[in-house]
Amino acid sequence: MAGWLAGRSPTRWGAACAIALLAASLAACGDDKAPVAKATLPVETETAVLTPVTNTVSLTGEVRARVESDLSFRVAGRIATRLVDVGDTVAAGQVLATLETTEQAAEVASATAGVQSAEATLRQATSAFDRQKELMKSGFTTQSSYDNASQALTAADSALKTAQANLSTAQQQLGYTELRADAAGTITTRNAETGQVVEAAQAVFTLAHDGARDAVFDIDEALLTDELKDKTLSISLLSNPAVHATGKVREVAPTIDSTTGTLRIKLAIQDPPPEMGLGTSVVGVGRFQSREVVTFPWQAFFSSGDSPAVWVLDPASRTVSLRPVVIDSYRSGKFVLRGGIAPGESVVTAGAQLLRPGQVVDPRPAEGQAL
The CATH 2.40.420.20 domain(s) of the chain lie at 42-53+292-365
Q: Over the stretch 259-289, which tens digit does the pLDDT of each residue have?
A: 888 899 999 999 999 999 999 999 999 877 7
Picking from 81-95, 137-151, 280-294, which range would have the lowest pLDDT averaged per residue? 280-294
The predicted model gives 323-342 an average pLDDT of 86
Percent above pLDDT 90 for the chain = 55
pLDDT at residue 227, rounded to an integer: 62
Say if residues 210 and 237 touch (Cβ distance below 8 Å). no
- Between 74 and 224, the higher pLDDT residue: 74
Q: Which residues contact 275 (CB under 8 A, 6 or more apart)?
A: 237, 240, 243
What's the confidence (pLDDT) of residue 200?
94
The pLDDT of residue 206: 97
Return the pLDDT at 25. 47
Within 13 Å of residue 2, how many CA atoms lie on the same side as its CB? 0
State the pLDDT at residue 369: 57
pLDDT value at residue 32: 47
Whole-angstrom distance, CA of residue 315 vs CA of residue 103: 92
Confidence (pLDDT) at 291: 77
Neighbours of 63 (CB within 10 A): 24
Which pLDDT value is given to residue 220?
81
- Mean pLDDT (whole number) for 332-336: 86
Quote the pLDDT of residue 225.
60
CATH 1.10.287 in the chain: give the residue spans.
101-177
Residue ranges, CATH 2.40.50.100, the chain: 74-100+178-208
The architecture (CATH level 2) of 42-53+292-365 comes to Beta Barrel (2.40)
> CATH classification of 74-100+178-208 is 2.40.50.100, yes or no?
yes
Residue 353 pLDDT class (50, 70, 90 cuts): confident
Give the bridge partners for 283, in sequence order. Answer: 60, 236
276 touches 268 (CB < 8 A): no
Query: Percent of the chain, pLDDT > 70?
Result: 85
Does position 162 have pLDDT exceeding 50, yes or no?
A: yes
- Its pTM surpasses 0.85: no
Q: Which fold has domain 59-64+215-290?
A: Elongation Factor Tu (Ef-tu); domain 3 (2.40.30)
Q: What is the mean pLDDT of residues 177-196?
A: 96
Could you tell me where in the chain the CATH 2.40.30.170 domains are found?
59-64+215-290
Contact (Cβ atoms closer than 8 angstroms) between residue 96 and residue 181 = yes
| pLDDT of 33 above 80 | no
Integer Cα distance of 55 and 329 in angstroms: 10
H/E segment holding residue 21: helix 10-29
Question: What's residue 1's pLDDT?
Answer: 36
- Give me the mean pLDDT over the 41-55 stretch: 84
CATH number listed for the domain at residues 101-177: 1.10.287
Residue type, 329: S
30-44, 186-200, 283-297, 327-341: range with highest mean pLDDT: 186-200
What does the pLDDT read at residue 351? Answer: 81
Tens of pLDDT, residues 86-106: 999 999 999 999 999 999 999
Backbone angles phi, psi at 332, to 5 degrees: -65, 110
